[in-house]
Amino acid sequence: MKNSGRSEIFAHDLPATRLDPALQAKRDQKIKVAMIGLCGCWGCTLSFLDMDEALLGLLDKVTILRSSITDIKRISERCRIGFIEGGVANEENIETLQHFRENCDILISVGACAIWGGVPAMRNDVELSECLDEAYVHSPTRVENAIPVVPWSEDLPKITTKVYPCHEVVKMDYFIPGCPPDGAAILKVLDDLVNGREVDLPSSINRYD
């Protein structure tokens, strides 16, 4: 194969991928959904997977544009619904949450971390420097005889002094409590919104732990 220069292998040299017009039209009619995890443990994301085959019934009406499965960093098209897991603990979380607010009509806090900070907010009772020292300098699991150091790089997102619930950073429209919420609760909210009903989350599938 003739090597005529590196620029030939760059993506912008490739022909644009186009969907079949009929498929594109069908896709355009669907309600677009996006999901993201901020400062959490991804347990709430696993609750989405707990919907199992129940989610299949909605896939005729819904298309998921961004999720932890696709790992696309930005929302490529305006979405009707955005689900947020986790609280806000660094400047990247703030920027991501604002990006979701700007690109989603309806934004939903999913789980305790998104609603009030959850487990990561335990650090709110101590100074950030004290918290980092405890984690990296005094930690019993640090490498023995190594010089203790708090990691720093200008490439790392700056940590906020406190962990914030999402609604203290942007307006949130709905809240699904639990640590994690029941998959049935997430499905109920999604089903109500997709079918144009008032969101009504019965206490029988609400979790407050």
Distance CA 37, CA 119 (A): 15
From 28-36, 38-46, 69-77, 88-96, span contacting ligand SF4 (CB under 6 A): 38-46
Of 113, 121, 189, 193, which one interacts with ligand SF4 (CB under 6 A)? Answer: 113
For residue 160, the minimal CB distance to ligand SF4 (Å) is 17
Distance CA 201, CA 52 (A): 19
182 lies in the binding site for ligand SF4 (CB under 6 A) = no
Of 51, 83, 86, 172, which one interacts with ligand SF4 (CB under 6 A)? Answer: 86
50 lies in the binding site for ligand SF4 (CB under 6 A) = no
Tokens of 53: 């085959």
Of 31, 106, 119, 205, which one interacts with ligand SF4 (CB under 6 A)? Answer: 119
Distance CA 90, CA 157 (A): 6
Distance CA 87, CA 97 (A): 10
Distance CA 187, CA 55 (A): 7
Report helix, strand or coil for 37.
strand
180 lies in the binding site for ligand SF4 (CB under 6 A) = yes
177 lies in the binding site for ligand SF4 (CB under 6 A) = no
Distance CA 108, CA 162 (A): 21
Contacts with ligand SF4, residue ranges (CB under 6 A): 40-41, 43-44, 85-86, 111-113, 118-119, 179-180
